[in-house]
Amino acid sequence: MSDSEASGKAKVYVWMRRIASFLINQWFFILLGVFVALAHLYPEFAKQGGTIRAEYSIGYGAVAVIFLISGLSMLSKDLMKNTFHWRAHFTVLTSSFLITSAIIFGICCGIKASHDQAIDDWLLVGLIVTHSCPTTVSSNVVMTKQAHGNDILTLCEVFIGNVLGAFITPALVQMYLRGVWEFGNPTHQELGDSSMTELYGEVMKQIGLSVFVPLFVGQVVQNIFPKQTKWSLTTFKLNKVGSFMLLLIMFQSFSTAFAQDAFTSVSHVSIIFLVFFNIGIYLFFTVLTYAYSRPYWILLIFDTPPEQSNSRLYRWCYKFFTPFYYNRRDTVAMMLCGPAKTAALGVSLVSSQYGSHSKYLGKLLVPLVLYQAEQVMTAQILVKFMKKWVYADPNLKQDIETPTEEPETPNHEPESSNETSSREPLERDNQSSHSYKR
């Protein structure tokens, strides 16, 4: 074989390895495309009430696997500490329910006032309902782990947000769908599939069986068999399993939407509008949540720790307000929880209030299903930048690079204590209760 032929084969081999490596790294997006295609071809297979009874096999089973892995990978003391982190709960709940829904309501009112016939009014109602829903159950936990944010705080927000969402979301829908939106108010629709009392019971059952029980089992196993649990997490790459379960959940949502003829009930112009609008509004909400979680005015006002020479008001305000300037790991959790919306509870709310045989059901589901898919795809890209930002602190980075450090394992979480930048004295001083250490 001549040198030129050997060189040519070597180049082909190198390029094939690069292509294979790229495809392996993008496995999530590739499988997502495969599942969407399967949902379009065989919607009856994984829709709610379909062949595999996806509302149980996926809605309960896949979500339970994600939270079982979470229970196995987190320390019980950290779980308790984040459970009582009321400031974080306040920040996430207000951003998830009030801020995002109010902004979307204002945008939808502006679009409706323009009388653009290309955008269906029922599609706008679907947007309002979508952004009145709580944060998503499973993808937040998976994404926060990938970004090495405070996934324990995310789990707490998921649990609290969805329990309250069963009550808050219908109330928000009733509040927004008044006046010019009266036509979309659920009280004027045909009787749904279940009463609100039955819906609350279903939500509590789903949260209990798919979140609380597997989380509790994971915590028990992790405390009884710590070494075996750590070995299983690292050997079987259970974080990848969580990402695959997330794909199954999206498969269920798209199957349900295709079965309801959701994407054929609206115009192509509306679909294109929603695709670009969802990406833009998700990025906007992510930036807004960042600003809400790390308000710069706190750094300006409380630039130095209080001393005896300071007034009592300054000392009291410093103690109360400075914990609202969150550390980086907590901020990552909030940036993923705040803009995200759940399709699991959203589909149940829509079908229960409007009826599964409503002629407007497809239009109502399109914004919800598309937003769920696009928020996951966008977050998959953002988590890489979030992870770099979490590790940007030189002291934290130095700790991570030590040979014994294994960030993926439960006993080697990266530090959540506040950054030590000399430009931000507040963060050095603010060793609040929500920051936990190795």
φ, ψ for residue 83 (rounded to 5)? -60, -35
Residue 348: closest CA among 54, 44, 45: 54
Residue 386: closest CA among 146, 129, 213, 191: 146
Q: What is the DSSP letter of 430?
A: -
| Fold category of 38-391+406-429 in CATH | Na+/H+ antiporter like fold (1.20.1530)
Alpha helices in 260-311 (DSSP H): 268-293, 296-301
Contacts of 160 (CB under 8 A, 6+ apart): 89, 93
User: What tens digit of pLDDT does each residue of 135-179 get?
Assistant: 987 788 889 999 999 999 998 998 898 888 878 888 898 899 998
- Phi/psi zone of residue 246: left (φ > 0), alpha (ψ -120 to 50 degrees), beta? alpha
Q: Are 394 and 270 in contact (CB under 8 A)?
A: no
Q: How far is CA 357 from the centre of its chain?
A: 29
Specify the pLDDT at position 437.
36
User: What tens digit of pLDDT does each residue of 257-309 get?
Assistant: 888 888 887 888 889 999 999 999 999 999 999 999 999 999 999 988 888 88
Q: How far is CA 433 from the centre of its chain?
A: 24
User: What tens digit of pLDDT does each residue of 197-250 get?
Assistant: 666 777 778 778 888 899 899 999 989 998 888 888 888 877 778 888 888 888
User: What tens digit of pLDDT does each residue of 381-414 get?
Assistant: 999 999 999 998 665 654 444 333 333 433 344 4
**CB-count burial class (<10 Å; 0-12, 13-18, 19+) for 262:** buried
Q: What's the residue count for the chain?
A: 438
Q: Where are the beta strands (DSSP E) in 38-170?
A: none
Q: How far apart are CA 193 and CA 354, in angstroms?
A: 8
φ, ψ for residue 74 (rounded to 5)? -120, 150
Specify the pLDDT at position 409.
38
Contacts of 353 (CB under 8 A, 6+ apart): 170, 173, 186, 189, 192, 196
Confidence class of residue 432 from pLDDT cuts 50, 70 and 90?
very low
Look at 187 and 312; give whichever has higher pLDDT.
Answer: 312
Q: How far apart are CA 33 and CA 182, in angstroms?
A: 38
This prediction has a pTM of 0.80
Structure tokens at 55: 């509302």
User: What tens digit of pLDDT does each residue of 297-352 get?
Assistant: 999 999 888 888 888 999 999 999 999 999 999 999 999 999 999 876 677 777 77
